[in-house]
Structure 1
Amino acid sequence: MHSAVFLIEFGAIILGLGLLGRLAGRLHFSPIPLYLLAGLAFGEGGLLPLGASEEFVAIGAEIGVILLLLMLGLEYTASDLVSNLKTQYPAGLVDFTLNALPGAVAALLLGWGPVAAVVLAGVTWISSSGVIAKVLGDLGRLGNRETPVILSILVLEDLAMAVYLPIITALLAGVSLAAGAVTLAIALAVAGGVLFVALRYGRLISRFVSSDDAEKLLLVVLGLTLLVAGIAQQLQVSAAVGAFLVGIALSGEVAEGTHVLLSPLRDLFAAVFFVFFGLHTDPASIPPVLLPALVLAVITACTKVATGYWAARRAGVGVKGRWRAGGTLVARGEFSIVIAGLAVTAGIEPALGPLATAYVLILVVIGPLTARYAEPLAMRLTKHRTTTAAPQTQVPAGVSAPGIDAGGLGTPVPDASGPDASGDHRGHG
C-alpha cells in the first residue's frame, strides 16, 4: 500500500512538472518560479502536503544539485577558466562587491547574525546561469559583442562557488575557525589539483571515460560524478563543487556526448530540487518577508545592471550593449536556491528560506524582462533627457556641430553605440 501511494504521489509530481514546464515554454518564461510555487502548494502548510514520496524527493533534489553543477562544469574547459581568471577578475570583484554586500547588510539589519549574512550575500550575488543562457538563446544574442562579457562574469561566479560553498558548509556545521580553515584549504587544494590535472591530462581522462556506447558512457560519467561528489561531501568540501570539478575535467567529444545524455536527467532532477525547496517553505511564512524581499530584489537588480554595464564598458562594448549586458545579468535562480537550501537544512534562520524563495520568484520573473527591455528603456530615457536638456541652437550653413551633420540638417552622426560597438553586430562572440 505504501509503495502504491508513493508511485501515485511521485507520478503526480512528475506529471505536474511536465505540464508546468510546457506552460512556461508557451509563455516564453522560465519554469523555475512555477516549480517553486508547486512546492509551496504541496509542502508544509500547503494545499495538499505530501507524505510517502517526500524522502525520495529529498534524494532526487540532492542529485539535481549535483547534475546542475556537473553540466555547468562541462560548459568550460580548464584553459577557459584560467583565461577568464586572468582577464576578467576585475569584473568579478565588482560583481561581488555590488551584489553580495546588499544581501549581507540586509541580513544584519534583520538581526539574523553573521552566518546568515554570509548565506544571504551568496543568494544575492550569484546570477542564474540556466535562466540567462536560455534568455540569450531566446533573444538571439549569442553572437552579440556583450555576450562574452556576460559569460565571463557567470564563469567567475561559478569558480567562486568552488571556494564559497566549502566556507558556507563549514559555517553552517558550526566548526571552529581552525577546522574551517582546514576545510577551505582542502577545497582550494582539490580545486587547484583538478584544474592542474585537467590542463595537463584532460585528454587522457576523457579518453579513459570515452565510449562509443551511450549506455556505458552514461553509467561511467554518472557513477564517477556521484562518487566524487560523495567523497567531496565526506571531506566537507561540498558535493556540488566535486561535481563541478568532474565536469571541468572532461572535455572534447566526451563532454559533448555527456551533455546530450545527461541533459534530460538534469532537467528532471533539477525540477525536483526546486519542488523540494518549496516543500520545506511554509506559504504562510512568505507574506511577512515579502517587503524585504522586494526591496532587496530592486536594489540587487540595479546593482547587477551596474555590474554588467561596467564590465561591458571595460571590454569596449558600446552603450546599447552595456545596457543589454546589465539587464541580462539580473535573473537569480538555481544557485541562490542551492545556497539558501543549505541554510534551511542546517536550521540557521527560519525566515531565510521564505525570503530567498520570494526573492528568487521576483527576480526570476523580472530577469527576462530586464534582459529584453533594459536597453530600449535606457535609450529612450537618455534620448528624452538629452532632448529636454539641450537648448535649440541655430547652426550656420557649412558649420558642423556635435551630433549634427555638416549640412546643418539635424541628422545625427553615428556614434560609438552603433552596431559594432553596441553589440548588435553578430559574429564577435
Structure 2
Amino acid sequence: MHSSAVFLIEFGAIILGLGLLGRFAGRFQFSPIPLYLLAGLAFGEGGLLPLGTSEEFVAIGAEIGVILLLLMLGLEYTATDLVSNLKTQYPAGLVDAALNALPGAAMALLLGWGPVAAVVLAGVTWISSSGVIAKVLGDLGRLGNRETPVILSILVLEDLSMAVYLPIITALLAGAGLAAGSATLAIALGVAGLVLVIAVRYGRHISRFVSSDDPEKLLLVVLGLTLLVAGVAQQLQVSAAVGAFLVGIALSGEVAEGAHGLLSPLRDLFAAVFFVFFGLHTDPASIPPVLLPALALAVVTAGTKIATGYWAAKRAGISSKGRWRAGGTLVARGEFSIVIAGLAVTSGIEPRLGPLATAYVLILVIVGPLTARYTEPVAALLAGRRSARPSDPEPEPDATQTRDLVPSPDAPAEK
C-alpha cells in the first residue's frame, strides 16, 4: 500500500510538472522538448531527486510514446502521397541524407566509438523534427508559402526512410551477424512494401472496417490495432515504431482524421513521458565532457540543413528568400533523434552517445526556431552589405535598380 501511494505521488508530480513546463514553453512560444529533457536530467541518475517506484511505469509509458509518435506521423500521409514524394523528391532526400548523416558518422568515428555508433549518430544528425518544424511553420504563418511543400516533402522522405533505417540499427544494436541482419532488413522492407501496396489498393476497405461513429470504439480499435502490430513487429525484430508507422499509413480519410483528433492528447502525454524517460537515463555529469563535440556537430549540421533546404527549394524554382527560409526551417532536431539515441542507450553500445545526443538536441531544438525566423533576413542583410561595398560605383540603396539603365545626361536618375 505504501509503495502504491509513493508511485501515485511520484507519477502525479511528473505529469503535473510536465503540464506546467508545457504551459511555460507555450507562453514564450518555443518547443517544450528541451524542458522535458532537462526535467528528466534533474530527476534521473545523478540528478537532484532521483525517482524510485514510478521509473518502471515511466519506461512503459515512454515506449508507448514512441509508438504513438510514429502512428500519428503515419496518419499524416497516405500511401499515394508517399509514393508520389518518392518519385518526385528523391534527389532532395538523397542530398539531405548525404549532407546531414555523414557529419554524425564522422564524429562518432573521430571519437573512436566504432562503426555501429557511427550509424546511430548518423541518424541522430540526419532526421529533422517534424513536430517542431510543423509548429514553427504555423507560428510564423508560412503554411501557405511556396517553399513549404518543399520542406514537407523532405520531412516525408525522412519519415519514410525510418521504415528502412530503424530495422538496420535494431539489427546492428542486437549484435546480429551479416546473415541475420540482412534477413531482418529483408523482412522489414518486405512488410513495408506489402503494407504500402495494401494501403494503395485496399486502404478504403481497411478504413471502413476500422471506422466507427462512436469515438470511444474508434479510439479502442485504432489504439489496440497499433499496439498489436507494434508488438508483432518487435517480436520479428523489425521495430515497434515501424509497425506503428505502417498502421498510420494504412488508415486514411475520415478514419485518419478522427483517430488523429482522438489520439493527439495521448500522443502528447506519452511523448512528454518519453523525453523525461530519456533524460532520466542520462547522468547530467556526463554532458559537460561531450558538450564541445555536441556544439561542433550542431554548428556543422545546422549549416548542412540550411544548404539542403536551399538546394531543394532552388531545384523547385523557389526565389532566393524562399530558399533561405526553407533551409533555416529544417535545422531543428527533436523527437526522432532522441528515439534513435534511446535505442543505442538501451543496448549500451557507447555510454557517451546518450549524453552527446541529449546536448545536441537541446542545442538545435532551441536554435531551430531562431534559424527559421532569422536565416532569410540575415542572408538578405549580408547580401545588401556585399552589394554596397566601397568598390561599387553607385553605393546608394537604389543602385541595383538603376544599374542597367542609361539615362540621358540631363535626365534625373530613376527611383
Per-residue CA distance 1:338-390 (angstroms, 9 max, x = gap): 00000000000000000000000000000000000000010001111111165
Q: Which residue of 2 aligns with 1:409?
A: 413
CA distance in 1, matches of 2:406, 2:31: 45
Counterpart code for 2:31: S
Distance 1:405 1:287, change over 3 A: farther
Q: Which residue of 2 aligns with 1:418?
A: none
What secondary structure, in the 3-state scheme, does the structure 1 residue paired with 2:308 have? helix
What secondary structure, in the 3-state scheme, does the structure 2 residue paired with 1:359 have? helix
Q: Which residue of 2 aligns with 1:253?
A: 254
Q: Which residue of 2 aligns with 1:425?
A: none
Aligned length: 407
Q: Which residue of 2 aligns with 1:86?
A: 87
Please show how residues 250-289 of structure 1 align to structure 2 within 5 Å: 250-289=251-290
CA distance in 2, matches of 1:80, 1:269: 27
Please show how residues 224-239 of structure 1 align to structure 2 within 5 Å: 224-239=225-240
- Shift in Å at residue 409 of structure 1? 3.1
Question: Is this contact kept in 1: 2:45–2:281, CA < 8 A?
Answer: yes
CA distance in 2, matches of 1:128, 1:403: 44
Q: Which residue of 2 aligns with 1:379?
A: 380
Distance 1:120 1:131, change over 3 A: same
CA distance in 2, matches of 1:408, 1:160: 60
**Does 2:57 align with 1:36?**
no
Deviation >6 Å, runs of 4+: 405-408
Distance 1:390 1:257, change over 3 A: farther
Q: Which runs of 5+ in 1 are unaligned?
A: 395-399, 412-429
What secondary structure, in the 3-state scheme, does the structure 1 residue paired with 2:52 have? coil
**Does 2:298 align with 1:297?**
yes
Distance 1:410 1:172, change over 3 A: farther
CA distance in 2, matches of 1:264, 1:368: 23
Question: Is this contact kept in 1: 2:132–2:332, CA < 8 A?
Answer: yes
Q: Which residue of 2 aligns with 1:10?
A: 11
Question: Is this contact kept in 1: 2:129–2:336, CA < 8 A?
Answer: yes
- Shift in Å at residue 229 of structure 1? 0.3
Per-residue CA distance 1:182-212 (angstroms, 9 max, x = gap): 0000000000000000000000000000000
CA distance in 1, matches of 2:95, 2:128: 14
Distance 1:84 1:403, change over 3 A: farther
- Shift in Å at residue 408 of structure 1? 6.8
- Shift in Å at residue 276 of structure 1? 0.1
Q: Which residue of 1 aligns with 2:398?
A: none
**Does 2:126 align with 1:122?**
no
Distance 1:404 1:124, change over 3 A: farther
CA distance in 1, matches of 2:390, 2:127: 38
Distance 1:129 1:405, change over 3 A: farther
Give the structure-2-normalised TM-score: 0.96
Per-residue CA distance 1:385-416 (angstroms, 9 max, x = gap): 1111652159xxxxx954669777364xxxxx
Q: Which residue of 2 aligns with 1:419?
A: none
- For the aligned residue pairs, the C-alpha RMSD in angstroms reads 1.5
Per-residue CA distance 1:155-189 (angstroms, 9 max, x = gap): 00001000000000000000110000000000000
CA distance in 2, matches of 1:410, 1:207: 66
Per-residue CA distance 1:224-281 (angstroms, 9 max, x = gap): 0000000000001000000000000000000000000000000000000000000000
Please show how residues 327-342 of structure 1 align to structure 2 within 5 Å: 327-342=328-343
Q: Which runs of 5+ in 2 are unaligned?
A: 396-400
Distance 1:324 1:389, change over 3 A: farther
Question: Is this contact kept in 1: 2:402–2:414, CA < 8 A?
Answer: no
- Shift in Å at residue 114 of structure 1? 0.1
Counterpart code for 1:353: G
Distance 1:383 1:408, change over 3 A: farther
Distance 1:142 1:390, change over 3 A: farther
Please show how residues 115-264 of structure 1 align to structure 2 within 5 Å: 115-264=116-265
Give the structure-1-normalised TM-score: 0.93
CA distance in 1, matches of 2:89, 2:403: 34
CA distance in 2, matches of 1:287, 1:219: 44
CA distance in 2, matches of 1:248, 1:20: 32
What secondary structure, in the 3-state scheme, does the structure 1 residue paired with 2:389 have? helix
Distance 1:117 1:389, change over 3 A: farther
